[in-house]
Amino acid sequence: MSIFVEDLIASAKLRSFAPFSQSTFDTEKALIIANEEMLLKLVKDIFSTREDFFLTSKDVSLVGGVGSVTIPKRSIGGTFKSLWYTENGIVKHRISLGTEEDFEDYSGQTGTPEKFLLEGDEVVLLPTPATTTGAVRFRYYAKPNLLVSTEDCARITGVTSAGGTTTLDVNTDLSGDLSVGSRVDFLSAVSPFLLWADDVTITAISSTQIEVATADIDNAAGTVEPQVGDYICPTGYANIPMLPYEFHPVLAQMMAVRMLAGLGDLNKWNAAKLELKEVREEGMGLIKNRVETEPRRIKPGRNGLVSTFSKR
């Protein structure tokens, strides 16, 4: 199955019949087109059809005396769906949006956050956390990572955990661009190609291995989530479009339309736009009903025989 950005670019060029040798559409420029079409158009399409498609969560630890936290930088439009107070990973209560009057009422108070206000890209907690315990959990819509060439990422070929550290064998030497303290993302190689973990700090790196803290990449059961075949990429980037595989052809067609517009071929451009409309509608149809709200039931007919399937 072709899933990488190189396959995406090749598909876009084939769909547009753009000359492969033309410098206008080299890999770097094709990636710019792909990122713009994905983030400005395709993500918007998916979000408007099924907004919870990009819904995820992130816990931000509280610090005593610090009254604000930053909205996750990956959130679409710097927005979030809800905010919760948690302790040891357990949700205690929802933190509600306050008013300017609340800002005055809670002034100078410390305790467990009950309300919040927005200031730029930060959330002001009311009252200010009294101690360095607990966390706030953002439920927000995360945008896909920007696309980069596969040579800028590394495929995981082995995973070993011991003493709180996980060592990952990799097939690509990233030590020239990354070092101890650099941050990376762990990308699943299975559709819809989402992140196992993001902003993970490298604790050691060589030409064939990358080490990180196990706590940064395991789940609640203590199981390391990245697997052999998944990818490690510089944080904020991915070598596979972070969309269900069925949307990869849609993105390729969007790129083809842009390429043909650049070439000035109106006939092919119009034909490509018609094709885009069709594949776009097909893609949106796949996510309109992600879960059926009611199962189909067997309806008994006369003489006890099954006559048809129907909803209750």
CATH code of 156's domain: 2.40.30.270
Based on the fold, state whether residues 65 and 91 are members of the same structural domain.
Answer: yes
Residue 134: pLDDT over 90: yes
User: 170 with 132, same domain?
Assistant: no
Is 196 inside any structural domain? yes
CA 91 to chain centre: 23
118 shares its domain with 205 = no
Which residue, of 188, 221, 240, is where some domain finishes? Answer: 240
Helix, strand or coil, per DSSP, at residue 114: coil
pLDDT at res. 303: 44
HSE, CB side, 13 Å, CA atoms: give it for residue 221.
3
For a pLDDT cut of 70, what percent of the chain falls above it? 90
Q: What is the pLDDT at residue 19? A: 60
Domain count of the fold of the chain: 2
133 within a domain of the structure (yes/no): yes
174 within domain boundaries:
yes
Q: How far apart are CA 205 and CA 157, in angstroms?
A: 15
Q: Residues 6 or more apart from 41 whose CB is under 8 A from it?
A: 254
Q: Cα separations (Å) of 72 from 117, 168, 187, 245, 246?
A: 15, 27, 18, 26, 28
Q: What is the average per-residue pLDDT within 34-61?
A: 89
Q: Which is more confidently placed, 114 or 26?
A: 114
At 90, which amino acid appears?
I
| Strand duo 165-170 + 154-162: pairing | antiparallel
- Judge if 120 and 157 occupy the same domain: no
pLDDT for position 283: 83
Among candidate residues 109, 141, 173, the one where a domain is terminated: 141
Q: What is the pLDDT of residue 286?
A: 77
CA atoms within 13 A on the CB side of 63: 6
CA distances (Å), 255 to each of 33, 110, 120, 148, in order?
6, 52, 34, 15
59 and 130 belong to one structural domain: yes
Please give the Cα distance from 85 to 95 (Å, whole number): 6
Average pLDDT, stretch 106-129?
Answer: 94
Q: Name the least confident of 138-142, 185-189, 281-285.
A: 281-285
Q: Which H helix or E strand runs over 122?
A: strand 122-126
| 191 and 172 fall within a common domain | yes
- Among 124, 141, 158, the domain-final residue is 141
Q: For residue 47, what pLDDT is reported?
A: 84
Average pLDDT over residues 1-30: 81
Same domain, 77 and 161: no
The answer to the question of residue 253 being in a domain is no
Report yes or no on 172 lying in a domain.
yes
Tens of pLDDT, residue by residue over 255-299, are: 999 988 887 778 888 888 899 998 888 888 877 765 555 444 444
In sequence order, what E strands does 10-121 have?
Answer: 55-61, 68-70, 82-87, 90-94, 96-97, 110-111, 115-119
Say which DSSP state 111 is in: E
pLDDT at 21: 58
Judge whether 125 lies within some domain.
Answer: yes
Assigned domain for 268 exists = no
Q: What is the pLDDT of residue 168?
A: 98
User: Strand 209-213 relative to strand 195-205: parallel, antiparallel, unpaired?
Assistant: antiparallel
- pTM score, whole prediction: 0.82
pLDDT at 123 exceeding the cut of 90:
yes
Of residues 296 and 160, more confidence is placed in: 160
Residue 309 confidence (pLDDT) above 90? no
pLDDT for 24 equals 66
Two tokens, residue 115: 């309300």
Specify the DSSP class assigned to residue 54.
G
Comparing 12-16, 17-21, 92-96, 278-282, the range with the smallest average pLDDT is 17-21
Domain shared by 132 and 157, yes or no: no
Range of the domain at 90: 52-141
- Segment 211-262, tens digit of pLDDT: 999 999 998 788 999 999 999 999 999 999 999 888 999 999 999 999 888 8
